[in-house]
Amino acid sequence: MPADLKPAAPVQLRHGSNAGQPQTRRDGLLKVTGRATYAADNHLEGMLYAVTAVSRIARGRVTSLDVDAAKAHAAVVEVLTPENCPRLAHDPDVKMPYFGFRIEVLQNDNVRYVNQPIALVIAETLEAAIEGAALLNPQYAEEPARTGLDNGEHFAAAAVGVGGPPRTAHGDIDRGFAAAKHVTEADYVTPAQYHNAMEPHAVVAQWDGDHLTLDMPNQALVLSCAGYAAYFGIPRENVLIRSPFLGGGFGSKAIINGPQILAIIAARMMKRPVKLALSRSQMYGPVGHRGQTWQKLRIGTDADGRLTALQHSTISATSSFDEFLESASNASLPLYDSPAIVSEHVGVRLDIGTPGPMRAPGEASGSAALEAAIDVAADACGMDPLEFRLKNYAETEPGTGRPFSSKALRECYTKGAKTFGWAARPLKPRQMRDDNGLLVGWGVGTAVFHCPHFPTAARATLRADGTALIETAGADMGQGAWTALAQIGAEALGLDPSKVEISIGVSSLPDGGVAGGSGHTASAGMSLHSAGKDAISQLTDIAVADPESPLFGAGNIGVVARDGRLYRSDDDNRGESYANILARAGRADVVGTAKAMRDPAIAEKHALFSHGAVFAEVKVDPDLGQVRVTRMVGAFAAGRIINPQLVRSQYFGGMIWGISFALLEEAITDKRTGRIMNADFAEYHVPVNADVPSLEAILIPESDPYLPLGVKGVGEIGITGTVGAIANAIWHATGVRARRFPIRIEDLVGGLLSVDVP
């Protein structure tokens, strides 16, 4: 860690731009110069290193560990096993509320999945800890692994996602299908996908009496403090988490996991700081992933191409010992106007680590299947896929009839189609080739994502020198919170953002909520905006009560804050700087505070979603079946945009993830052993630069009067329309409907040979 960045102090950044303007990332310079401090960059005096030894079987028991061999290593200090690992104050098999999962922390010798921690080696050096773990030579009593639908345990789910109902039904589904002229059915399989953020999970834990300090990547700082406190039986205020920078998160870093708890146990036992960082292969198991799904869609349409019924059924994989089910079928609830809709889920227990939230949980898997199936229904009606979507456009939320707080999806379709050139698309497949003889296809997918909101708090301090400090325990995992939140705070304070300092990433600050669900900017931004307004209100009270101020007596008229000055609302020539007001009052500062939560009545009365449309072009080799995505245009409507530059980056990231989902990304499991065969970056394929085509993201203006600040989320919506758009483009190029993701060459080659060329 560079000497000028001290791990004990909150990181504070300066500079900015007005809300709504493209602003370069405040943290960008620190990152590109290597001065941004990530968790594993912290090296504390007297620090030990911990490495987890992990199971190589999926189910059974550990019968022996050669602890003596490991401890014989000169630099190994201790080995934790179920025999000597302390018990926790909170039972790790009892789930905590909200984002709570059952975890494995050496409380017994049972093995539930491959890569489960079965011991922890603590050493003076990282190399010694790794070598000590290798010397343990575990022996097992192995049981057959349950790895798929054929041998997994099926069960009726109590909930899907984070507490959602497993079944939702609107209208009479049987009547809807009976009234249909066309009924189409399609089955889809989506794979297990594993979190592979550039920064693996890591923690540096240190105790001072019963006070615990954690340097770690974390998406939910204050919420996590309560969890760690419960596990170790200490007050929540005794836990401090420092997380100024995260090298990606995607949902996994909002959740407490077993290896982190083991490192904290080790630090308490050894009375020395302990660092633990998972290896890349160890990320495949204990820190969550996107669970596999098996989906079936049944769609009924009348003679005019209007939906009469939509049934979406999903089997979602989860672990043998916990429940987190991809809520894939719920993707069919908010989009298309059908008098009857059924969304239903069941679970299947496998010997795997528990799945968890992973970018657009539920919606990514569900929309991939839905958007592909919608194209099948459009084809059955002889309709253009975009025309079919517009024909079934929902003016109000399907099923509930609630009005949308705002919805500019028509504009997304229109602008996206025009930019892409959709009007030139032939209806039938296999009609287009490029100059090299490659088949060309065009596809469309609708994007949608809900707009959650988390309770947050913030503090804004106006200082006598005319600058300000805004504070909230927010998290920036690359989405741009350092920058966007500063822009919101500067706007509320009426200051040039270069005069506004922002502090986030430390749990001792006011609660910044959860950086997840595409809700962080809206949630933390609301409290920052309110705290800024509170500070301005206090400053106004001082000025209008001061006979020496040009604002004296302007309380009834009103005051406007702008460019570091307060002005009478009826006279732009009568104003005074913040610095002068505070100086005359003998004040060093005024401090505004706020707690913010969206009015629950808004969500009760309105449907809250961001929308978009993604258009994709693919080229397919007619002989080899090789697929390249060559062009994509996405048009998105997501309320008020705080920083267009950051938003485009998020849309691009989502669309690139869609390429990964559609064509590349998959954890391959050995069905005999339950081992993931490609648990590394070499064989777990994600897009590289050569896989990414020309991308264009169009920001559709949208005003939402019902949401705080008018802000919706942008982080996850980009993936939701992209996967289906690519699958549909492949059909348009080849005439072959892929039913599993990622779409493989072998899925296409047989069909390519059997489809008649027009």
Residues marked active site are found at 716
Which of 336, 456, 446 lies closest to 391 in space, CA to CA?
336
User: 519, 711 in Cβ contact below 8 A?
Assistant: no
CB crowding 619-656: b at 16 or more within 10 Å, else e: bbbbeebebebebbbbbbbbbbbbbeebbbbbbbbbbb
Element containing residue 648 per DSSP (H, E): helix 644-659
User: 414, 386 in Cβ contact below 8 A?
Assistant: no
CB atoms within 10 A of CB 47: 16
Strand partners, 123: 49, 76
14 residue type, one letter: R
Q: How far apart are CA 313 and CA 331, in angstroms?
A: 11
User: 610, 636 in Cβ contact below 8 A?
Assistant: yes
DSSP 8-state code for residue 678: T
Quick one: tokens of 535? 């500070």
Q: How far apart are CA 589 and CA 725, in angstroms?
A: 54
Dihedral (C-alpha) 522, 526, 529, 530: value to the nearest 10 degrees?
A: 180
User: 271, 288 in Cβ contact below 8 A?
Assistant: no
Write down how long the chain is: 758
Residue 340, Cα to own-chain centre: how many angstroms?
A: 31
User: 153, 145 in Cβ contact below 8 A?
Assistant: no
Q: How far apart are CA 458 and CA 510, in angstroms?
A: 5
Backbone dihedral angles phi then psi of residue 160, each to the nearest 5 degrees: -130, 155
